[in-house]
Every structure is written in C-alpha cells, then in structure tokens.
Structure 1
C-alpha cells in the first residue's frame, strides 16, 4: 500500500465520514485573486534591523495541534494542569527587562506582547478565526480582522477568549475555572515617500482564575491515589484571582538622511491590576483549637481575604538609528515613570463604650514610585545573512542595572556572551496581604552567560543544538521556609552563594518521503545551592506522515507526539502572590504521555483532531500525572481545533 493510500485511510478513519474526492478538487479555470500570497506580515523588530520587506503569513500545519503554539509564549511551561492556568517557564530564563518590573508573570503566556505583535499589509480584507474545543470544557477562540485603508496604511482589530472547566474538587464538576477575554487594535502607516513610519497597538485583557489550592490529601493517601479528579477534596472553596492589563505601544520613525540616519520615538503606557480574594478561609478543628490550613497565617482578617495590587508605568524612548547593506546601528535614551501599590483589606471587632462590639473594616496599603533612566544601543555588522557580529548594551543611570551582550555568527555556528545585573522585582521587595507581609532590600542579581548554538540543514535532515553556561550571584527566589524552624513558605529570599547552570538542547528532524521524525532533548544541570528547580531531562518526540490527498486538494499530517521528563521537586504554587516557590516534599514524576493527532487543510481552513493524554484510557496503571505539586494534568480529552482564513 502506498503512503498516499495510508494517509487517505487515516484521514477517513479520523473524520468518520467519506468525502468524495471530486468535491474537494478545484476547477482548473478558477483562479484565486487574493490569498496567502497577497497577505503579508511585518514586525517592529524588522524595522529596527533595516528590513522593510514583509513576509507571507504562516499557513503551515506543523504544531497546529500543540497547545503552547496557540499561546503568545510558545516555550515549555510548568502550569497547574489545565488550559489557561498560572504558569512559569519550565527552564530558567534570564530576565530581559532592567530596572523596576512588577514580577507578576503567571498569566504572561495568554497576553499579547506589544513589542512582538504582527502588523499586516493586505491587498484585500483579511480575517482569520482560531478555535479550539476539548471534551473537558477547555476552549480557545481568537478572531482578527485587518485591511489596508490605502496602499500605505493598514488597520486591524482582534478579539480572544479562553475558557476552562475545573477538573478537581468534589463540588466543581463542569464549573468554570478560567475566564479570559482580550481585545486588540493595531495600525501600520508609512508616508508615500517612506520617510515617516508609524506602528501602534492597544491591548486590553481580563483573566480570572478560580483557585482551588490543589488537591487536599487525606490521611493515608499516597500520590498514586490522588487521581479521582472531581471526587478529590481541594483546599480552597471560594477563592479567585483576577488580573486586568492594558497596554498602549507605539513607535514612529523619521528618515533624516535616508535609511542611514533616522530618528525614532517609542511610547509605552502599561497598567496591571491584580486582586486575590477568598471568602471562606480553610480551617480545621484540632482538639479544642480552630487551626488555619493552607495559608501560613492571617494578619488582618481571620474570616476572609481581599488583597489588591496596582501597577502602572509610562515609558518614553528617544533614539537615532540607521541601516546600510553591511551595518545596522541604534542608540537611545529611555525614561520610565510609574507607581506600584499593594493594599490589604481587613476587619475586626472594636469594643464600644456601651459594652457592644462593632465590626470595623480598614485598608492597609504600601506604595512605591518608579523613576528610571537608561541609555543604550546596539549594532550589527553583517557580511552575509549567515556571517555577522551583533553587540548591544543598556545601562541604568543612577542605578546598578545593566546588560552587555555580544554575539557572532559564522554560517552554522553562533557564539554569544552576556553579562547583566538586574534588580529584584517590585513584588519581591514590597508586599502586604492578609497572609504575607515583607519589605526586603535585596542586592542586584548578577548573571554571566556563555552560549553556543549550531543550526544546519541538508536535504531531509535538520539539526539545532544549543548549549549555555550561566553563573548567578545573589539570586532571588521564593523559599519553602524561613530559617529558625518557623514554616512561612512562599516568601522571597536571596542566595548569596554562586549558582551554576548548564542548559542544553538538541533537536534533530529528518524526513524520508512522507515520514517525519522530529525529536528534541533538553538537559539541565544545577550546581551550588538548590534554589532553582528544573527537570534534568525532558524529551519531546513527534512521528508523523504527511502529504497531499485527493489529487492535491488537501494536505494531511497524522501521527503521534510523546512528552516525558525526569522526576524533580517541582515548585509549588501560591495563589495569594501568583508565584511558584520551592518545596521539598512532593516529587513530580511523569511517564511518557502520548497524543494522537491529525492536522489537515481544506482550502483556507486548517483543522486538527487530537486524542490528548491517551495513556489514561489505554493503560490501567497510568491514571495521570502532576504538573505542579497537587495539581494533576487533565486526563484524556478529545480536542478539535481550526484556523480559518478569509481573504475577501
């Protein structure tokens, strides 16, 4: 049997319905005037590199079935086991922002990055719809519409929604867990002589997560017995996190002497508000005492919690830049102003002169102002696309933050050296709530990193290997307990001893005719104080067949994807602060999980079908696995998704 017949058979089994081939074949006389070839995309970073040529939009099927490729941060993440939940990168990453930064990033993967938002150049109105729906209630919906008003002016709008049903907790069957909404507006304009150019976007999001605190184990329970999902008790019954963000970002350029000398200005206006509430704090009766559970303590109210965080900033960057065939440069000055405020609501009974008690509410708050100044720049010398040297630097004036970076590439090999000093986040320095309170004066963290990468392709083979060594000094983290035996976990601390990280990855992909095998292996090694947690090994492997069917009317990818990581003490999650923190009692293990998928396109529609976490229905002993201590990953789910492009 030929590979085309195999693909056709797999396709028909997945869909369960036979589509006559003749219905899928386009009439040879029908010519599409508009399509992916007339819809182009360009990014702000392209302009800074001197590249004014937009590229075609991506309509490929590869990774269509993978959740993380539907998010704005496509790296591997540690989350709470469900779509849209709080997460952090699975592997350590160096911060890229200097000076004051908020430090609440648990929902970053679901929020548009205004610096990397795509802008369009369309010959016709372009609309695309993204939709994903799982049998456990997980769903993602995105819609975007953009069009050229004139040949040199494009405008667009977007809308998105993420929803998830709760899978753990005896009371939570089919109840909503995640509710995310977002809107975007963006525009790209350049004058007819291309001396002036503007890129601007506005994004607003609202993200609500119903907090469970994870599974609450009962006496005698082992980790292997915590996979009853909706029958498992949880710690929190009436707790929720709400986050609202608004971002306006705009950059404009003006050519003084052609492309070689340009002035530019970037303005960013950002706000992020977070609140955490729990209307029923968890208590147990032990003997004659009423004992608080899950939280370390109550500082303001013994019955409920209402905490808020408010962050806003205005940043202006003024610079000069230019590009030639062999040289690109930029120099700038940056000013950042803003404020950070945390509040905690409390209540207590106050004795009155008449002997009666009166319940009085009060509000505690702490506020810090932001006033940062920076200078910086970057330059790139390039002989060809695969031979170049890049340098960039940024310094905080009147502060200790800085970044120095140099990178050289010669054909397949890239070498990079980075040295940075960055401040602890605002959250790590100042926080008050009903359960925590700290005022820290930490030293800057210093990071020195040496990295090398190799990327090459030949015929049906592709190799990408990366290796980096990082030395950290004065690293700030969230600990599992304070010194002296008093257990107050999830609070910030600083490690003054040096920490060394070795991180490596190798991706090898090859294809023989229609068969594709794509394997990626990650390796992480931490030496020194045990305050950074990553799995030592992580493996992602995909094997699939691909090719056209029905005389080229459609393309199909169908196969299996496997994920596995070695056991490690993954960080726990504290919803009050939205931070992951060290813990030393719960060993997170994982067996190889399998997903069976089918990706296909039918004209302008890309769609996929996926059997997720297939192990839980094919093996009696593999009931599930945990992504974060006491947060199990979703069990088996049948998932459907599509991406539909309209070009008129």
Structure 2
C-alpha cells in the first residue's frame, strides 16, 4: 500500500467519524471545568458538548495487560525515540541509510522463547512482533502522524488512528512507510508495516477479547559495502570522494525482502468474577490463537562469485519460508491471599524450509524442518505491600524441539524515589532455523545441522535500581553454553570470505553494567548513559565494545509566553574499538570476525526540538563533527557510517 493512499483513507475515516461521533456517557468523561491548556491535557468534544476528556483517559496496553496513558510531552527520552524504530536505540549502530540494519553493540538474552527464531535477524529490527503491538481505549478519536526526512528522494511516515465505537469496543489502524534512496549506490530501502488492532469487553467485563492483524514488507537493495581498496579513499577524506555515489560497491545487483503476515486473537471468560473487595476469588478460562506466515528472499540478476563464491546458477533466487501456528488453552486463578496463578497448554505446528533438496556428491541437504508438539506454560505473581514477585516458566513436550525457560523477578519499592529488583533467567532452546538448515544458489551457503547442533543454554542473574532522583543502574551476569554464531571461518585462495554457522562447545561468561543519571541545573541538564561490558571465553566468539556511552547536554524552557516548549542541545555517542561484527547480505546476518578493529570515533548530533500545542517538531544536525574528527567511522567492516546531514521531522496528535 502506498503512503499517499493510506493518508487519503485516514482522512476520510476522520471526516466520517467527526460527522458520526456521538456523545460519550457522562460516566466516561470528566467535567473538569477546565479549558484546553496547550499541553494536550484536555480535549474538547468534537460534537460541541461541554464535557472534556483529559489526556490520562487515552490508554494503551500490551498483551501482558500493562496499561499506560498516552504521552504527548516533550522530553529528552522523546528525542532518543524519534528515529526509524521509534524506540531508544542506545547500543545499536545504524548503517548509512535509514531502513538498513543495525550492528548490535551488546548482547541481549532471549528470555521466554522455547523455539528457534526465523533467520535473517539483521532485517528484524523494524519487524513488529506480537509483544510490540498495543491496544487502545480512547474517549474520543485519536490520530497521530509521525514524519521524518530520509536520505535522498524519500521520507518516513507513520499514520495512526484509534477510536472507541462504544465503551466496549475499540479499534486502531496504522501504517508506517519508508522509502530512502541513500547516498551510496544500490542502497535503496523501502518498507511498510500495516497494523490493525481491536479489543472488546462485555458490559459486565466477564468476556474480553483482543486481536491484531499485521502485514509487513521490508525491502533492501544490497551492495556488500565498499571495496577493500576503497577504504583508504574513504578514510582519507579527499574531496573527490566526499560524494559517496562515486564509490564502487562490492556488487550492485542484489536485493532482499522480508515479508510477514500475522493473525492473532486472544479471549477470556470469567467463570468466577471478582465483583468487589469482599469477593476474593477470580477464575477465568483463556484461549489464544496465533498464525504467522513469513518468508525471506534474496535475489541477484547475476552472481557475485568474487564475494560469495561459486554458484549453481547464473540467476540467484533464494527463498525460505516459515509457517508458525500456535493455539493455547489455559486457566487463570486469582486470590487476594495466594496471588495470581496462570497455567496453559499449547499446540504448535511448524513448517520451515525450501522447495527442493540440494544434492552434493557426499551429502544431501534436506529442504524442510517440520514438527508439531505440545508445550506447557505457567505464571505466578503476587504483591505484598511494597514487594512484588513475578515468575514465568515454559516447557516443550517434544523430543525434537526441546526447549524450556524460567524467568523470575522480585522487586522492592523502598520509597517513592527508589525501587530495587533482581531476577533469574534460565533458557534452553535450539539455535535459530537458519543455523539448522540453509539452502542457497551459492554453493558455500548450504548446510544442515539440525541433528548436530545442541541447545543454547543460558543462565542469567540480573539486578536493577530505578531512581530518577539518585541513579538508574542495571547489572546482569550471563553464563552461555553452546553459544551459536556465524563465523568468518577463513578466506580461501581467491580471498573470498567463508562464513559458516558454528557452536562454541565451552561456556562463556558475559558481564554487562549500565548506568544512567541526569544532572539538572536550572534549565540546563546533562543526561548520561554508560555501559560497561566484558566477555570471558577461550576464543573470541562474542565480541562487544568494553564501553558504550551517550551523553547529552541540553537546555529546555517554555518560551513565547509559554506558548512553546523549546529543547536544544548536543548528544555525544561513543564506543571503544573492538572487532566489530561483519554483515553478510545474503544471510541478512552479522558474523563474528577477528581481522578488523573498528570504533573509537565520536558522533556528535545537534538538535532543536519544540512543542506547540499538540505538535512536536524535531530538527537535528546528525554527525556534524564528521569533517573535523576524521573519516574513520564504520557501522561494520566495509560499511561506512553516515556523514553529516540535516534532518527534520514532527509528531502531530489530533484529539477530536
């Protein structure tokens, strides 16, 4: 769907709703007697009634039922989240063009998965998972438009619309589209993320249902980065090479696309309903159904044998699919003394693979991994005064897809300013599908390890202190067994990279400490986030920088008689040198390499942000120091980071 078509659709939906919206029930709207204060705190009814809806009545919640109010304020956290992913990307190193991948500067443990994940993980940063979906309850129609300029002949737009048809039923529809040509040859990105959500509850709230439909297509042209012999020309900063389009890329005919469709539905019915404080019990039956169909495809009009090695054909067209169906049935019991207990059984059916076999003289690579199995999950939570315990566990009842997890967290609120928490994560699951089975028209990219690779076992201890007044800090210590990774195994006689999946049979230990603190003096503030990391292993299989830091010095104030909030400052991003992971465009995966050390360069961004009524405006000079601190900046080996550029964007909320 093109962006312009979706904008037109949203426009007619809004116009239609203005004409048909009816008066809210008095119980659902606050009559505060206040007028609109310019900070989206109160919104007048579109039908002319005197009743006003306050901003805290616009609610959003996820599948875990965590509910928060819609936030339309302007803060430094909004500056960090105003990007393509629309979330804080600390610890991620973007590539040159928006919509390309990110190099991860730290390692995040996968907590609650018992099954392998679909491959092409480098393309999943903007792939919306079920946990990313939000559901809404709004007293009046709400529209949000998010826009940001891209690189050369493109833009990003996210259009969102939510409405409550009644107190019982809500729906939302949204589409995020991007097209950006980029500054290097064959670096076009084009993506679309369509989301539709709905949630319903009966008047007595015994029956509740929610569901979503998500359709996504993420297309990237692939070029393999600049040639080895051109790296010196890039680093030199000579004027002839400032125009990045003059660089010859490793190849200029590659494209990849990730397509996904997901249908999700969850509903529950209270067999015993907790009516008031005297009724201490609640018993509900829950059913959840999810189906996801996705595929990753890579094609080239002619093979790049000097980059990937020999090929079977002269027309490269690799395509892998996954059909993942899951249905669960469970019960949830609540007692104000015992706490909240949930148990469910799930049926999973998986079909992953390719359309044909690959036959070598001494080996046959099969084309499918199929399985169906039962799994069991349980959860428990309890709050006693200021202490909260949350625990989850899952187990696959399968001989092939062996997997389990335990995730427990205990938190203690000492006072209104300090909250302490600690937890334990134990996870065991198979490596991702593309480690187990991969086929390609390139000869080197064919393997089958389903019977050879063992489960990845992770044990992690984590501790956290949350205190905006004093300090926010997180420390986690992980022990990882059978760590699985793509490795730059060797370079053959023609200097072609041989990249293979490998398992590290010994255990490694990974320590991560993250500290955040903001210092304020009048209208000035200094926000600091620093992460320290250390990996202990016999060989270098997991490479991360020792230090990652982000420091923002900024000024904020109300100006023009408080008609506008202004925020301006400078952000420094930096990480120490290390053997940065390389990027393989065929796999759409990052691989471990110990040949090239990168990093150690500062990135300075100057920003001016403003909020006028319900509109937030963002202006940024990105990497403005690129010309005077040296051109030795890369997102991955052979992939330069973006140069100095000026970008503009806005977030516009409409409350009708």
TM-score (norm 1): 0.84
In the TM superposition, residue 236 of structure 1 has moved relative to its aligned partner by: 1.1
Please give the alpha-carbon distance, in whole angstroms, between the structure 2 residues aligned to 1:418 and 1:60. 35
| Paired residues for 1:295-334 under 5 Å | 295-298=308-311, 300-301=312-313, 303-325=314-336, 327-334=339-346
Whole-Å separation in 2 of the counterparts to 1:478 and 1:615:
34
Q: Deviations over 1:197-220 (max 9, x none)?
A: 111110101111000100012289
Q: Tell whether the 8 Å contact from 1:308 to 1:344 is kept in structure 2 after alignment.
A: no
Residue 444 in structure 1 maps to residue 452 in structure 2: no
Report what 1:141 is aligned to. 157
Confirm or deny that 1:390 pairs with 2:390.
yes
Q: 1:446 to 1:194 in 2, by over 3 A?
A: same
Q: 2:235 maps to which residue?
A: 224
Q: Is the 2:98–2:150 contact (alpha carbons within 8 Å) kept by the matching residues of 1?
A: no
Q: Which moved more, 1:57-66 or 1:550-559?
A: 57-66
1:194-343 superposed matches below 5 A? 194-218=205-229, 221=232, 224-225=235-236, 228=242, 229-259=244-274, 260-282=282-304, 292-298=305-311, 300-301=312-313, 303-325=314-336, 327-343=339-355
Computed over aligned residues only, the root mean square deviation of the Cα atoms, in angstroms, reads: 2.8
Corresponding position: 1:55 with 2:69: yes
Return closer, same or farther for 1:253/1:54 CA change in 2, 3 Å cut-off: farther
- Kept in 2: contact 1:136–1:637 (CA 8 A): no
Alignment-derived partner of residue 127 in structure 1 = 143
Distance 2:436 2:101 in 1: 21
SS in 2 for 1:427: helix
| 1:543 paired to 2:553 | yes
Residues 497, 149 of structure 1: CA spacing in aligned structure 2 closer, same or farther, 3 A cutoff? same
Instruction: Output one character per residue of 1:165-209: Cα deviation in whole Å (capped at 9) or x when no partner.
Output: 22224xx5xxx6100012111111100000011111101011110
Say if 1:382 and 1:45 are closer, same or farther in 2 by CA, change over 3 A. farther
TM-aligned CA distance change 1:137 to 1:106, over 3 Å: same
Kindly indicate whether residue 478 of structure 2 is the aligned counterpart of residue 476 of structure 1: no
Q: CA deviation at 1:319?
A: 1.3
Query: Which of the residues 81, 90, 101 maps onto 1:86?
Result: 101
Distance in 1 between residues matched to 2:571 and 2:93, nearest whole Å? 18
Aligned to 1:466: 474
* CA distances 1:251-310 after superposition (whole Å, capped 9, x unpaired): 11111111421111111110111110111333xxxxxxxxx3111332x11x33111111
| Structure 2: gaps (5+ residues) | 1-35, 46-51, 275-281, 359-364, 414-418
Aligned to 1:433: 440
Equivalent residue, structure 2, for 1:18? none
* 1:37 matches 2:49: no
Residues 38-68 of structure 1, C-alpha deviations (whole Å, 9 max, x = no match) = 6522323453xxx6x6534444343434466
Please state whether the residue corresponding to 1:606 is helix, strand or coil. Answer: strand
Contact 1:514 1:545 in 2 (8 A): yes
8 A Cα contact 1:446 1:474, kept in partner: yes
Paired residue secondary structure (2:248) = coil
Contact 1:100–1:372 under 8 Å retained in 2: no
Offset from partner CA, 1:568-620 (integer Å, 9 cap, x none): 11111111111111122221123211101111111111111110001024x1x
Distance between the aligned counterparts of 1:413 and 1:110, measured in 2? 32
Q: Does 1:638 align with 2:649?
A: no
Q: Are 1:307 and 1:344, in contact at CA under 8 Å, matched by a contact in 2? A: no
CA distance in 1, matches of 2:37, 2:55: 20
Please say if 1:505 is aligned against 2:507: no
Instruction: Give the match's secondary structure for 2:227.
Output: coil
Distance 2:122 2:54 in 1: 35
Is 2:470 the counterpart of 1:455? no
The answer for the alignment partner of 2:375 in structure 1 is: 374
For the pair 1:626 / 2:630, whether they are aligned, the reply is: no
Number of aligned residue pairs: 582
Q: How many Å apart are 1:102 and its aligned residue?
A: 1.7
SS in 2 for 1:418: strand
Within 2, Cα distance between the matches of 1:449 and 1:25? 47
1:513 and 1:221 map into 2 onto residues whose CA distance is 47
Q: 1:393 to 1:188 in 2, by over 3 A?
A: same
Tell me the residue number matched to 2:427: 420
Question: Which residue of the other structure, out of 407, 410, 416, is the alignment partner of 1:408?
Answer: 410
Q: Structure 1 residues 499, 559: closer, same or farther in 2, change over 3 A? A: same
Q: 2:78 aligns with which of 64, 85, 96?
A: 64
The whole-number CA distance in structure 2 between the counterparts of 1:560 and 1:470 is 34
Using a 3 Å threshold, how does the CA distance of structure 1 residues 79 and 344 change in structure 2: closer, same or farther? Answer: farther
**1:249 shift after superposition:** 1.4
Q: Give how far 1:91 is off.
A: 1.0
Measured in 1, the distance between the counterparts of 2:394 and 2:357 equals 40
Distance 1:592 1:502, change over 3 A: same
CA shift at 1:447, angstroms? Answer: 0.9
Q: Which moved more, 1:144-153 or 1:400-409?
A: 400-409
Q: Distance in 2 between matches of 1:576 and 1:243?
A: 12
Deviates more, 1:471-480 or 1:213-222: 213-222
Shift in CA distance, 68/645, structure 1 to aligned 2, threshold 3 Å: closer
Cα distance change on mapping 1:90 and 1:110 into 2, 3 Å = same
- Answering whether residue 200 of structure 2 is matched by residue 189 of structure 1, we say yes
* TM-score, normalised relative to structure 2: 0.83
User: Which structure 1 segments of 5+ residues have no match?
Assistant: 1-23, 283-291, 347-363
For residues 487 and 608 of structure 1, do their structure 2 counterparts lie closer, same or farther at Cα, with a shift above 3 Å needed? closer
Conserved? CA contact 1:508–1:520, under 8 Å: yes
- Conservation of the 8 A alpha-carbon contact between 1:547 and 1:556: yes
The residue number in structure 1 matching 2:9 is none
Q: Give the alignment partner of residue 584 of structure 2, picking from 574, 592, 597.
A: 574
* Conserved 8 A contact 2:409-2:421: yes
